[in-house]
Structure 1
């Protein structure tokens, strides 16, 4: 009897081998193909836009400056996030692949939070770049150099990977014996840890405090820096100068609002105990996770003056070459 009890206990605390990603539970099966096509369309736009930014900045030497190094890191983060979650979502709705191996789910979770955390700190770094450029322009060439920005970006990536490794090890230290259904389209920390067969109070407290630090720590700095920027801009006597200076900040402000406002709303709603309907909650998370990554390249191209001017210049040069070729062929 004792041996049977020990065997039963060992089996009940053994890790499950796979997770089931439920996705949107309210979508009928006949619409799966349409949903998969929609996410494929999103993925193609996201991938093409961010790859274009990376290739364009790498090719155009005049854009290889601190601001655009940060933009390229943001493009890498956006592209990485989309590549981490979208192919799996598409496979679920096109090929009914909703099973994910235990280790694969944890790996996806690490990359989901890595790219999210890096984006948050990169937006703060972008705010630092604008803060020094506007509030202390004479020291900008000394403080904000390519080498300094590359170093800071490297520290952000490595630092976030280290703390994610630690909290992942913390999550792996508890058993997962069932149920194994994740009510989401991808694996994230809270969805996985709530399936643990153990008391996760300490894990939840640790992960929540880290998440708040990662989200609101950079946000508080961004708010401080833009208050200082606005204060400096209002002191410029020339109206046109004020307008041009503030215009350089509008792309970053728009990106920051897209990233932080919906996330903060969801965190606050969760903190006060307001629970959204499952499909609505998943749709909101997917929207605020993917929409910034989808729209950022368009903001860079149409709202960032140097990129827009360079694109127009390249287009005009190409148009001149085409017209010259047509003229030569005609004569």
Structure 2
């Protein structure tokens, strides 16, 4: 790329391609699918957040963790989905030079926070299943809240370092990002210089912050499975497994799939697998239906 002129910062835009190979005749379908996904995502997470705010019985460590996951999902989607929708509806895939680096920061930040929050979730389940009840007095709601705060704080300086190192690189005429958002690999590939000194530390950093929580999660749930299998009765085993099944689904979707479905279907998992959330949801729906019927009856009485 030595014969390609370098861009001047502030005078270029990056171009988001979106899904490579998608023909322009299907852009409307791509737009519709993403809009539907956005509605499902915000409706699901919004409902869960509202239930948590209204129902005191959901003020438990596990639901504090799920609230953090919901907030992280909403922020990640807010960072990425508007530009994807703009790409397929208005054929506008342009992102300013600085805007692309800002998006890169938030994409990596929320992605890493999500992984660390899942590690906190695994820790909570490990404590609940594997640690004797007389030891549980050491673990309070404040412990989980503190761990969630730490999960939000740890990645910030690391991600900022990646952005600061990538921003001054010389970027040339190839300004096309072959995916749906700006991230470190996609941006630094466009630099007209040897990216090894920048790419390798970023790779190591990503592996450490991804593999460390994943390793802890695998250790925690392996210990949980061993502990559950030692339980004498099948009924108690099933009860213990059921408390972890929804978390395992969320973790598997995050670490072992390459699709962008987890933020949209996580709320469904919360509601379908958590008995207290289902009960709170049905209770809220019954109240809403009751008040709606009363309003209709009152309006009819007034007319008559």
TM-score (normalizing by structure 1): 0.82
The corresponding residue for 2:158 is: 163
Q: How far did residue 13 of structure 1 move?
A: 6.5
CA distance in 2, matches of 1:42, 1:315: 23
Match of 1:17 among 12, 16, 40: 12
CA distance in 2, matches of 1:115, 1:140: 33
1:119-268 counterparts in 2 under 5 A? Answer: 119-138=114-133, 141-262=136-257
Q: Compute the RMSD of aligned alpha carbons.
A: 2.5
Q: Does 1:56 align with 2:51?
A: yes
SS at match of 1:12: coil
1:113-172 per-residue CA deviation (whole Å, 9 max, x = no partner) reads 111111111111100000001111525653432222222212211211111001111111
Unaligned runs of 5+ in 1: 1-7, 263-284
CA distance in 2, matches of 1:255, 1:128: 15
Match of 1:308 among 259, 278, 297: 278
CA distance in 1, matches of 2:75, 2:142: 23
SS at match of 1:90: helix
1:167-200 per-residue CA deviation (whole Å, 9 max, x = no partner) reads 1111113221331111112111100001112211
Q: Does 1:116 align with 2:102?
A: no
SS at match of 2:45: helix
Higher mean alpha-carbon deviation, 139-148 vs 195-204, is at 139-148
Q: Does 1:297 align with 2:267?
A: yes
Higher relative CO (CA 8 A, sep ≥ 6), structure 1 or 2? Answer: 2
CA distance in 1, matches of 2:196, 2:85: 34
1:224-259 per-residue CA deviation (whole Å, 9 max, x = no partner) reads 111111111122222211111111000001111111
Unaligned runs of 5+ in 2: none
CA distance in 2, matches of 1:23, 1:220: 32
Query: CA 1:198–1:61 in 2, change beyond 3 Å: closer, same or farther?
Result: same
SS at match of 2:95: strand
The corresponding residue for 1:280 is: none
Number of matched residues? 297
Match of 2:79 among 64, 84, 89: 84
Q: Considering fraction of residues, name the structure with more helix.
A: 1
The corresponding residue for 1:27 is: 22
Structure 1 contact 66–144 (Cα < 8 Å) conserved: no
The corresponding residue for 2:69 is: 74
CA distance in 2, matches of 1:85, 1:133: 36
Structure 2 contact 58–277 (Cα < 8 Å) conserved: yes
CA distance in 2, matches of 1:163, 1:128: 23
Query: CA 1:195–1:233 in 2, change beyond 3 Å: closer, same or farther?
Result: same
1:55-75 per-residue CA deviation (whole Å, 9 max, x = no partner) reads 211221110111111100000
Q: How far did residue 220 of structure 1 move?
A: 1.0
Structure 2 contact 124–144 (Cα < 8 Å) conserved: no
1:44-100 per-residue CA deviation (whole Å, 9 max, x = no partner) reads 111111111112112211101111111000001111111111111111111111111
CA distance in 2, matches of 1:27, 1:52: 33
